[in-house]
């Protein structure tokens, strides 16, 4: 299946505003809304393109932890699926020859971390080791904005598609540090759960369907979504099958960086088009990144020509991502 410039522009447009209508996207791109609707359906069916509405852990005052779990190859998928079913995980993948499971877990900052992170782990006799790394600063991806793969739209098109109202916790023109989200943490109520669950399945779900899911009038749904989005507590992201666009080598990097160089290395990664996610972490390795390359020779060039030139990087560990069991909102089975 071939994907052209218009397909890439639609994906970029959805990252700017996941709930933008076909008419708004068409007006920005200079094509009809019928064409946008048809292309979007194709992208959903063939490339797994899906808009996801997600709670922003930074604005909610949550911590994000990345767990690395090593187990036997016969138990890795069972463990990954069990982790994917947890509502507090946002990303679960298999890597390193199918013996390592990596996942992100959202934890309220005031919570019992040991209980939530470790005691809730699936019971398996083949679990060899577990390490937990708190993400202490986000550089690229997710709540801090799109990566450099999102370069299909002009600045004028981005401005046309950017939602009106209070600015989101990041800029689609360029990354902004996650710590720039001002104000006290936003609080969610239990009544928000049904709304967030529906948006995690499909961030473009219509207001009528959201009304049915929540039991609220449509006016209440619209108001609450404006409140959550305006405060930065709710953001939208786009998941897709990167290999459908010709990117066949997703790899997770764990870097050990001298503390004096950590901020500079993280900022340098924001300029690398291969990097789709990067964050500083606690632990022996203090920076984690996910890079997506065309193929493994391209990854070799990236590693030897770009990463090797970053001052302060003492050690790099790489682990090809074999399969995403949970990418953003729900279990996917991608890669």
Q: What pLDDT is recorded for position 147?
A: 55
Is 281 a domain residue?
A: yes
Question: Which residues pair with residue 255 across a beta bridge?
Answer: 287, 316
What CA–CA distances, in Å, run from 331 to 120, 191, 323? 19, 24, 11
Q: What is the pTM of this model?
A: 0.79
Domain housing 316: 243-321
Question: What does the alpha-carbon distance between residue 254 and residue 98 come to, in Å, rounded to a whole number?
Answer: 17
pLDDT beyond 70 at 118:
no
For the chain, give the mean pLDDT: 84
The total number of structural domains that make up the chain: 1
Express each pLDDT in 127-173 by its tens digit: 888 888 999 999 988 766 655 556 789 989 999 998 875 444 443 33
Q: What pLDDT is recorded for position 171?
A: 38
Q: Percent of the chain at pLDDT above 90?
A: 46
Is 283 a domain residue?
A: yes
Express each pLDDT in 295-321 by its tens digit: 999 999 999 999 999 999 999 999 999
181 DSSP 8-state letter: -
Q: What is the CA radius of gyration of the chain?
A: 20
Is 224 a domain residue?
A: no
Is 35 a domain residue?
A: no
Question: What does the alpha-carbon distance between residue 206 and residue 41 come to, in Å, rounded to a whole number?
Answer: 16
C-beta separation of 159 from 24 below 8 A: no
Identify the CATH number of the domain in which residue 293 sits: 3.30.70.920
Mean pLDDT of 240-259: 86
User: Two tokens at 73?
Assistant: 């190859």
pLDDT beyond 60 at 332:
no
Is 265 a domain residue?
A: yes
Is 314 a domain residue?
A: yes
> How would DSSP label each residue in 89-129?
EEEEEEEGGGTEEEEEEEEETTS-HHIIIIITSPP-TTEEE
Express each pLDDT in 70-92 by its tens digit: 888 888 888 888 888 887 888 89
Mean pLDDT of 238-257: 85
Q: How confident is the model at residue 333 (pLDDT cuts 50, 70, 90)?
A: very low
Is 8 a domain residue?
A: no
Is 9 a domain residue?
A: no
Express each pLDDT in 265-302 by its tens digit: 999 999 998 998 999 999 989 999 999 998 999 999 99
């Amino acid at each position: 299946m071939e994907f052209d410039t218009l397909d890439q522009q639609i994906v970029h447009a959805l990252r700017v505003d996941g709930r933008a209508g076909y008419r708004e996207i068409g007006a920005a791109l200079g094509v009809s809304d019928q064409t946008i609707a048809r292309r979007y359906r194709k992208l959903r069916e063939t490339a797994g393109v899906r808009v996801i509405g997600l709670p922003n852990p930074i604005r909610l005052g949550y911590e994000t932890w990345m767990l690395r779990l090593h187990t036997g190859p016969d138990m890795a998928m069972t463990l990954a699926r069990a982790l994917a079913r947890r509502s507090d995980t946002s990303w679960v993948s298999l890597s390193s020859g199918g013996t390592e499971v990596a996942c992100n877990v959202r934890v309220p900052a005031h919570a019992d971390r040991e209980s939530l992170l470790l005691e809730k782990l699936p019971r398996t006799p083949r679990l060899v080791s577990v390490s937990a790394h708190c993400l202490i600063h986000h550089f690229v991806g997710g709540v801090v904005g799109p990566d450099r793969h999102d370069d299909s739209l002009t600045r004028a098109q981005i401005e046309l598609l950017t939602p009106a109202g209070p600015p989101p916790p990041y800029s689609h023109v360029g990354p902004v540090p996650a710590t720039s989200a001002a104000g006290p943490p936003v609080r969610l109520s239990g009544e928000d759960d049904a709304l967030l669950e529906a948006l995690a399945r499909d961030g473009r779900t219509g207001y009528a369907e959201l009304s049915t899911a929540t039991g609220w009038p449509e006016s209440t749904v619209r108001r609450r979504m404006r409140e959550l989005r305006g405060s930065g507590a709710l953001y939208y992201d786009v998941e897709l099958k990167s290999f459908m666009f010709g990117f066949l080598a997703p790899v997770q990097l764990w870097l050990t960086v001298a503390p004096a160089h950590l901020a500079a290395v993280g900022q340098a990664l924001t300029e690398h088009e291969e990097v789709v996610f990067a964050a500083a972490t606690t632990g022996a390795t203090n920076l984690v990144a996910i890079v997506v390359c065309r193929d493994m020779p391209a990854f070799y060039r990236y590693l030897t020509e770009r990463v090797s030139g970053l001052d302060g990087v003492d050690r790099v560990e790489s682990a090809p991502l074999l399969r995403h069991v949970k990418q953003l909102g729900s279990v996917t089975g991608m890669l």
